[in-house]
Amino acid sequence: MRDEAFPQSARFGDKEREYLDEALRQNTLFYHKGVMTQRVCEQFCSLIDCEYAVTASSGTAAIHAALAAAGVGLGDEVITTSLTDMGTVIGILYQNAVPVFCDNLPDTYGMDPESLDKAITPRTKAVIVVHLAGNPCDMDSIMAVAKRHKLIVIEDCAQAWGCRYNGRYVGTIGHVGCFSTNDFKHITTGEGGIISTNDRDLFRRAHLFVDKGYRRSGDVGNRDPQQLCCNYRWSELQAAVSLAQLERVEGIAKIRHGLGQLLTRLIGDSTVISPHAVTPGGYCSFWFYLIRLKNGTGIDRDYFTRCVQAEGIPAGGAYIAKPLYRMTVFEDEAFFINGWPAKKLGLTDIHYRDVRCPTTEEIIRTSVYLPIHECFTEREIQDTATALQKVSNALYDSPQS
């Protein structure tokens, strides 16, 4: 159907070069001595409307710092979903806490609030909600559950730049938000992360945690850590690129939002596929678009995907091949060299091999990944929809090889 490759666009331009030059001319690239990181924090806070920001070396580092700041430690349970990046859970394990997985919703792919409620035990300390693909989770329901059980809510906003829920930017609804600027996200600094919060204590503790526990003021500050922290700092080079990228982010999110909405309209009321549903009250910035093959069509997902690819559309299988709890490190509980402290101390009896999240597994088994990008035009979306229609018609009620 389509011969032409899908377009790509330049991610960096004169603005990035200008700020990088400015950063280099400071004669320091240390975040605390230069001004670029401070400017990023101010720009970020005004963009998403929050009080405090802390920059970090990655989204994973941001989440780890948020957990540490929230006081998550040995044997605490942290509930999250398994249709996500390892970065969501790495910090939980490094805090010697226990990742507990609840189910996803079948149409928006966000955390299922009822499944969250059922997963809560007296050991539960925090929840990490993942706004997958820039689609906000059902935050009203999740916050209500969290409030009832006095849980800290961390929002994993790594894929959710530009995403809003009932008019509020994600990362400002829970207690703390964590963004990523790695090379694959809406905006990038190569590697990087930003933490958002309106809580002064969380801000202070997160800031200490990413910077060795040093209290920064004046030239170096007070270097007498009160607890074990990390060096998760980023440099003024990342800040310089971030300043320019933050200026682009609203435009990028808006185009992706429009293209995703268009694809949903074009898919319409298909008998074969379900569109990527947006959470009610949500503004989705479509980091990707995930369709599902409906139950009862009898169509094999991998075969369907290959057919769509053969039409010239760069489709893929599910966003990830298996839920996190099926990855080797979880199945073998191979988190640490000398065994898993939480298990050895009898603080958990979880066996990840026995964990099952039926809806998450169903999503992974039946979904097809479709790219959305700010450099696409309506033509790419139209072609995608036409290919989906053509393949659906051909495979529905017809034998497969």
* Sign of the alpha-carbon dihedral angle for 254, 259, 260, 266: positive
> Residue 159 Cβ, how far from ligand PLP at the closest point, in Å?
5
| Nearest residue (CB) to ligand PLP, 183 versus 397 | 183
25, two tokens: 């001319």
| Nearest residue (CB) to ligand PLP, 84 versus 305 | 84
> Residue 155 Cβ, how far from ligand PLP at the closest point, in Å?
10
| Nearest residue (CB) to ligand PLP, 24 versus 329 | 329
Closest CA to 80 of 65, 68, 63, 94: 63
| Nearest residue (CB) to ligand PLP, 84 versus 108 | 84
What φ, ψ does residue 274 adopt, rounded to 5°?
-100, 135
> Residue 250 Cβ, how far from ligand PLP at the closest point, in Å?
20
| Nearest residue (CB) to ligand PLP, 99 versus 272 | 99
> Residue 401 Cβ, how far from ligand PLP at the closest point, in Å?
35
25 CB neighbour count, 10 Å cutoff: 8
| Nearest residue (CB) to ligand PLP, 58 versus 360 | 58
> Residue 306 Cβ, how far from ligand PLP at the closest point, in Å?
26
| Nearest residue (CB) to ligand PLP, 109 versus 203 | 109
One-letter-per-residue 3-state SS of 15-71: HHHHHHHHHHHCCCCECCCCCHHHHHHHHHHHHHCCCEEEEECCHHHHHHHHHHHCC
Tokens 């809003």 sit on residue: 164
d(CA 128, CA 98): 12
Rule CB under 6 A: which residues touch ligand PLP? Answer: 58-60, 84-85, 87-88, 130, 156, 158-159, 180, 182, 193
> Residue 176 Cβ, how far from ligand PLP at the closest point, in Å?
14
> Residue 269 Cβ, how far from ligand PLP at the closest point, in Å?
30
Q: Is-contact 319 371, C-beta < 8 A?
A: no
DSSP assignment of 351-401, as one string? -GGG---HHHHHHHHHEEEE---TT--HHHHHHHHHHHHHHHHHHTTS---
> Residue 90 Cβ, how far from ligand PLP at the closest point, in Å?
8
The C-alpha angle with vertex 271 and arms to 265 and 277, in degrees rounded to 5, equals 45
The C-alpha angle with vertex 115 and arms to 110 and 116, in degrees rounded to 5, equals 80
| Nearest residue (CB) to ligand PLP, 31 versus 304 | 31
